[in-house]
Structure 1
Amino acid sequence: MALYSLVLGAVVALLIAATLLAKLPVRWWWIRACEFPRLQLAFAALLTALLSLPLESPWRWVLLGTSLLVVVLQARFILPWTRLWPVQVHSAEPGQQERCITLLIANVLTPNRQASRLIEIIRQHDPDVVLTLESDAWWQERLDQALEGNWPNSVKIPLDNLYGMHLYSRLPLANTRVERLIQDDIPSIHTDVKLESGDSLTLHALHPRPPAPNESEESLWRDAELLLVGKEIHRHPAPTVVAGDLNDVAWSRTTRLFCRISGMLDPRQGRGRFSTFHARYPLLRWPLDHIFTSEHFTLKRLERLPGFGSDHFPILATLCFRPSRSDEHDNPEADDGERAWARQTIREARSREQEP
């Protein structure tokens, strides 16, 4: 029983350490990684709470109390992305289809060559806009052949560095820009999309560099790109959608700050996590691919689609332009300290030597 207590105590210590480390306002990748598996940590803590019951005092109460503390701390972040929470983007009413837009977002995983499966999914769901991430020249050739007929408006950035990006739209595009906001090798697409009703929205398509051992030792570059876009949205309020693989979870410090800086809303809140990564490992999944909206939209549909050989699942959303319902939404707002933190992050990223 002594060995059992020691092993269980070590596990509980790791759980509380990971939980507390995630609260530190630092950018090291291994700290920021603690924000990702909150649901997994909560379930592990529930298990250790049950396993501590047979122990004698005082071990039982120390491990039980610490385990339940982990559950409570993690639940604060998890609950908004469950059906136990009020929705942040209200549901759309029937009708006025010409004022709705359906977007399909898919990180294809560059080495993945199962393009026919993704094309089949696209044709089945028939979205208005298709955004692919990690798409290189090989993917562009297959997507062009399949999509250019029905999705004639496009923006193509074929790259072999895992940051290629392609946008195909049946709706007209205007004022289209390809920008390298923070790093020279990380593109983003910014364009106006004209709905069938004649209304227009601004679409920002992003895929910032993740904090990871083989990518970047810190989250600075990702954080700065998201916060820079958030500042631009706040500065120029208009019907807006932000979409892409943000390499960040919905409940992270940075993504929540992005929403407060920009005033953007998360359609997942109150509906579920819709985890898109990792497609091959069910126990290690979190929402990395996102669609955020301004207050001008309601949600008709949100769905995670089947896999097609990538490490990401595609995600599909239908948004309806309903500016008359803007007041129904409770927009998040940043305080002065958070705006100062965002400005400092952007300045630091622009002044630092870029990581390859």
Structure 2
Amino acid sequence: MTLTLVAAGLAVVSFLALAETNVWWVRMTDFPRLQYVIASAVLLVALVIAKPVATRVRVALAAIALAALSFNAVKLAPYLAPTEGTAAACPVEQAFSIVLANVQMENRNTDELLEIVRQQEPDLFLALETNEFWDRNLSPLSDTMPETASHIDEDYYGMHVFSRLPLRATQILFPAEGNTPSIRTTIELPSGDDVAFVGLHPRPPHPRQSSAGRDAELMWTALRARDAGAPVVLAGDLNAVPWERSVARTQRIAQLVDPRRDTGLLPTYNAKSWWMAWPLDQVLYQPGLDLVSMEVLRGFGSDHYPVEVTLCHRSSERSPPTLRPGDIEEAETSMETARRENTGED
């Protein structure tokens, strides 16, 4: 009976996210694909050694477990077989590095984060969940990274950018008429080339909100990235995993490359959990840029590990996914759904 319930449960959570819905708990079932694979494998082993269970029942349950394992493995496959990537040497004037860190607002280990940033010496540092406390304690970074932008918030959605490189046309925007900020700016490389940068931190699906707002922010950003005029880098805690429908559509619309297809899964959340291992912190880029390296850095007391990505302003050897029929229409529908949800319209 126990094995039957486990098999049924695995089947439900593995396939439930195929449903077209914004219900928070359905969307959350997309996150733990790696955990589903492990659980399915353990169940298969248990069925092999479960002698008291009738053979016919074991075969049926094994088929269910194998289907769940196969489906989840296919979802994860692009991120479980890292390649050598395209880490060819990049001329120094065309290379730039980004460190991304969700600080966890209540975290007080500011010195550890400052040490990490100073050791890595990124060209641009994006900090998320910043408030007045973090604004004060991150301010020493402006000595060496004088180009700054920020939106200070006590509701977990503050955001700071520090840059060694010149920034221009910097804006604090609220995508899709939502209530979370986005920082958009243009980075001027030493080579004279421009890179469009977008920092995001959409709200996650949880018991008090659906995934509509998150997905709308991603779609809004993707649609604007199509006509940016310079290669785009999108960075942030997306509160979504790379294999989710909304992230995949974002990549297709904006023509973004996911470096994890070269580097592997690289989970960044939860730094305080032994079983939650999800790649929520993402840096995606358009083909006018090329991956040099990507690394998850050591923890500093936050529930997210920081990430460092180094890119080169040159053509990428990896192609972005192809736009599918209906993608643009689905994006516009997502934004309209979020607008109605925000305004309380039926």
The answer to whether structure 1 residue 13 and structure 2 residue 8 are counterparts is yes
> Is residue 225 of structure 1 aligned with residue 217 of structure 2?
yes
Q: TM-score, length-normalised on structure 2?
A: 0.95
Aligned-pair distance for 1:354?
4.8
1:235 alignment partner, SS class: coil
Secondary structure at 1:221 match in 2: helix
* Cα distance change, pair 51–256 in 1 and its aligned pair in 2 (3 A): same
Question: Deviation digits for residues 48-94 of structure 1, max 9, x if unmatched?
Answer: 0110113331111011111111110001110101226x67xx41321
1:64 paired residue number: 62
Aligned to 2:271: 279
For residue 265 of structure 1, what is the aligned residue in structure 2? Answer: 257
Task: Report the AA paired with residue 82 of structure 1.
Answer: L
- Check if 1:206 corresponds to 2:204: no
What is the deviation of 1:270?
Answer: 3.3
Of the three residues 332, 335, 348, the one matched with 2:324 is 335
Tell me the distance in 2 between the aligned counterparts of 1:47 and 1:109.
34
Shift of 1:308: 0.5
Post-superposition offset of 1:184: 4.9
Structure 1's 122 and 108: CA in aligned 2 closer, same or farther, altered over 3 A? same
Alignment: residue pair count = 341
Distance 2:318 2:73 in 1: 24
**CA contact 2:90–2:312 (8 Å) conserved in 1:** no
Paired with 1:329 and 1:285, the residues of 2 have a C-alpha distance of 26
Partner of 2:145: 151
- Contact 1:183 1:354 survives alignment (8 Å): no
Question: Which residue of 1 is the match for residue 158 of structure 2?
Answer: 164
Q: CA RMSD in A?
A: 1.4
What is the match of residue 290 of structure 1? 282
Verify the 8 A CA contact 2:178 2:217 in the aligned structure 1.
Answer: no
What is the DSSP-based 3-state SS (H/G/I as helix, E as strand, rest coil) of the residue aligned with 1:22? helix
Deviation, 1:120, is 0.5
TM-score (normalised: structure 1)? 0.93
Whether the aligned pair in 2 keeps the contact of 1:183 and 1:221 (CA below 8 Å) is no
Q: CA deviation at 1:157?
A: 1.2
Give 1:241 shift: 0.2
For the 8 Å contact 1:173–1:194, the answer to whether it is kept is yes
Q: Please state if 1:189 is matched with 2:178.
A: no
Distance 1:239 1:62 in 2: 51
- Give secondary structure in 1 for the equivalent of 2:171: strand
2:40 to 45, 66, 79: 45
Q: Which runs of 4+ in 1 moved over 3 A?
A: none
1:321 to 302, 313, 325: 313
The superposition leaves residues 120-154 of structure 1 with CA deviations (integer Å, 9 ceiling, x where unpaired) of 1001111110000000011011111x201100000
CA distance in 1, matches of 2:186, 2:308: 19
Partner letter of residue 194 of structure 1? Answer: E
Structure 1 position 33 matched with structure 2 position 22: no
- 2:332 is matched by which residue type in structure 1? R
Q: Give me the whole-angstrom Cα distance separating, in 1, the residues matched to 2:267 and 2:222.
A: 23
What percent of counterpart residues are identical? 34
1:83 aligns with 81
Which ranges of structure 2 fall in alignment gaps of 5 or more residues? none
Structure 2 match to 1:110: 105
CA distance in 1, matches of 2:32, 2:199: 25
User: Quick one: structure 1 residues 31 and 268, their matched pair in 2 at CA, closer, same or farther if it must change by over 3 Å?
Assistant: same
Preserved CA contact (<8 Å) 1:264 1:292: yes
Q: Secondary structure at the match of 1:212?
A: coil
Q: Report deviation, 1:297.
A: 1.4
Cα distance in structure 2, aligned partners of 1:263 and 1:152: 31
The 1-side partners of 2:213 and 2:45 are apart by: 41
Distance 1:110 1:118 in 2: 13
Match of residue 3 from structure 1: none
- 1:236 deviates by 3.4
Secondary structure of the structure 2 residue equivalent to 1:352: helix
Match of 1:350 among 319, 327, 339: 339
What corresponds to 2:302 in structure 1? 310
Distance 1:237 1:262 in 2: 12
